[in-house]
Amino acid sequence: MRVDAGAAASGSLPEAGASMANDPDEHAAALIERIRMQDRIDDPTVGWCDAGAFEAESLVWPERTWAAIERISATESAERDVWEYAFRRDDGQPGEVPVAFVWDKTGAEPRARVYYNKAHFGLADPRRPVLARTDFEWPDELERYFRAVTRGDRALLEAVVHPDAEFHSPLGIVGRDVFVAAFSGGNGGVPLEFNTVTRAGDEYAVEFTSWRRPPHAGLGVYSFREGMIVGARVYEGPVYR
The rounded average pLDDT for each run of 10 residues, N- to C-terminus, in the chain (241 residues) is 40 53 71 97 97 97 93 95 95 91 96 96 92 92 95 93 93 90 79 94 95 90 96 91 61
| Domain count across the chain | 2
Strand partners, 59: none
Task: Encode 71-91 in three state secondary structure.
Answer: EEEEEECCCEEEEEEEEECCC
Instruction: Provide the pLDDT for residue 88.
Output: 95
- Whichever domain contains 160, its CATH number is 3.10.450.50
Instruction: Provide the pLDDT for residue 12.
Output: 55
Q: Do 114 and 178 belong together in one domain?
A: no
Q: Do 115 and 185 belong together in one domain?
A: no
Flag whether the pTM goes above 0.75.
yes
* 241 within some domain: no
Q: Do 10 and 88 belong together in one domain?
A: yes
* 129 within some domain: no
Domain residue limits at 73: 5-121
- First CA to last CA across the chain, in angstroms? 23
Q: How many CA atoms lie within 13 Å of 159's alpha carbon, on the beta-carbon side?
A: 12
**Is residue 9 within a helix (H) or strand (E), and if so which, with residue range?**
none
Instruction: Provide the pLDDT for residue 18.
Output: 45
Q: Do 86 and 169 belong together in one domain?
A: no
Q: Do 189 and 150 belong together in one domain?
A: yes
Q: Do 115 and 186 belong together in one domain?
A: no
Instruction: Provide the pLDDT for residue 112.
Output: 98
Q: Do 17 and 109 belong together in one domain?
A: yes
Instruction: Provide the pLDDT for residue 30.
Output: 94
* 134 within some domain: no
Of 121, 149, 172, the position where a domain reaches its end is 121
Q: Do 110 and 147 belong together in one domain?
A: no
Q: Which CA distances in Å does 53 have to 107, 118, 132?
A: 21, 19, 25
* 127 within some domain: no
Of 121, 150, 170, the position where a domain reaches its end is 121
- Whichever domain contains 117, its CATH number is 3.10.450
Instruction: Provide the pLDDT for residue 241.
Output: 61
Instruction: Count CB neighbours of 191 within 10 A.
Output: 13
